[in-house]
A and B are shown apart, each in its own frame.
Chain A
Amino acid sequence: MIQLRNIQKSFGNQPVLKGIDLTVKKGEVVSILGPSGSGKTTLLRCINFLERPTEGEVMIDDITVSSQKGSKKEILTLRKKTAMVFQQYNLFRHKTVIENVMEGLIVVQKNSKETARKLAMEVLEKVGLTEKANAYPVQLSGGQQQRVGIARALALNPEVILLDEPTSALDPELVGEVLEVIKRIAEEGITMIIVTHEVSFAKDVSDYIVFMDQGEIVEEGTPTVIFNNPKEERTKRFFKRINREAGILESNLSSVI
């Protein structure tokens, strides 16, 4: 179980997160939606302390790391329980696809090279990239790179995978393959927290939806409740705008809003 308690974050005098509380149960897929600048990405980065929160604490399983006192060692333990998928993929440029996946298995989890290779191949199989195992990241399309990013996270078998707008940097025609992979993993019962702009995908894949605006959680609940019956004015407005901007909407999305 993952619990965030009163997470606050300011950059200078600018408050970005104004006290977020959130609980994610094991095996749950949670999507965080909201307009840009609402603090969703910052919240995600606070979970593995890539951003150190100004206030609050993060609890995963048996360990709790607090914003102020969290030591290097505690943060490291926290990061070993999490993995992240980045908007810009951030694959290690000087390593091949399989080396990218093996890196954490060897360096962090201290597996032997052979074991790591075997595990990495299994994961690459899941994301459908075994034939690209020896390619370098620059030789791949954005969609393929992001699938490697997912494989790298998945290989570590973390308590939770944090996905930061995993499809935002992709050309529209490549979004599908990545979403499909994420969906497949979600069905395996892996805990995930996803920051995304893909509203219809979020509805499809999530067990729980969190809607954020201006550094706070405006509304949260099951997809059915949030999409069919939002209570808050801000949530309604957001979906209305998404609706308008999308222009030609996919049929399932327009039926929801």
Chain B
Amino acid sequence: MQIDIPFIFMALIEIFKALPLTIIITLVPLIIGFLIGIGITIIRIRKVKGLYSLANFYVSFLRGTPALMHIMLIYLGFPLLIDKLAVTFRWTFQSTSIPILLFVLMALSLTAGAYMSEIIRAGILAVDQGQLEAAESIGMTNFQAMRRIVFPQAIAISLPNLCNIFIGFLHTSSIAFIVSQKELTGATNIVASNNLKFLEAYIAAALIYWGLTIISEKVTALLEKRVTVYNRGGVI
């Protein structure tokens, strides 16, 4: 077995250039997913008529199927929908002019929404019921109480889960290479096949993902210390 170590370094540098796209494919879905998650959580906690079952199905289906399916379904299905609408409304717009990245972001946002809603809900349920009661007892509306008292505590409680989902999506973003996105994994494939050094290229990619994961964990640990200052007692 021969491993071309200098090539690993070269590959590292080459692949690393694709980091911005990986960050985009990781963060954009998480941010949109967070908003979707809040919406879904409100629907599920308030048991909004009509939407409740729909929200439950959304969460269950998206969590019950691989992210690859979400990407492929949106990537294949959304253009059909757009083209059909374009014909009906006589748009001159064509689905082929939409960059594939957009489909990836849409699909993964939906995925993230499902997972986020579970995290947010668990966080909210973990906040002591007495907190809500105390807020309402001083005359806050339910919305004010949720926004000012329950939600901030729920997010602090959820921080470890939010870190996990970030790392999860950092890794999930690698699937995007299947629809030819040149993020870290896509770039690795190109470097590997251009030089016919597959093992070296994937070692380099692994090192990058590993490094990013470790950094994310360290950052979370720091955040956790800051956010939950009120939980630690001791000196502020």
Contacts and interface: CB of A to CB of B under 8 A. Distances in A.
A244 interface: no
B148 A107 contact: yes
Given A93-B153, A136-B229, A76 B134 contact: no
Interface string B135-168: 1111111101000110011001000000000000
Interface stretch (A81-89, A170-178, A200-208): A81-89
Given A108-B138, A156-B138, A94 B156 contact: yes
Contact of A135 (B134, B148, B156, B236): B236
A248 B80 CA distance: 84
Say which size band chain A's interface belongs to: 20 to 34
B236 A103 contact: no
Contact of A136 (B141, B152, B153, B230): B230
Interface in A121-150: 134-139
Nearest to B148: A107
A86 B141 CA distance: 19
A192 B148 CA distance: 28
Given A92-B131, A92-B149, A94-B152, A84 B137 contact: yes
Interface string A94-108: 111000000110011
B138 A79 contact: yes
A90 B230 CA distance: 14
B131 A139 contact: no
Interface in A65-79: 72, 76, 79
Contacts of A153: 138
- Which 8 A/B pairs are nearest by Cβ-Cβ distance? A104-B138, A90-B130, A90-B134, A84-B137, A80-B139, A136-B230, A108-B139, A79-B139
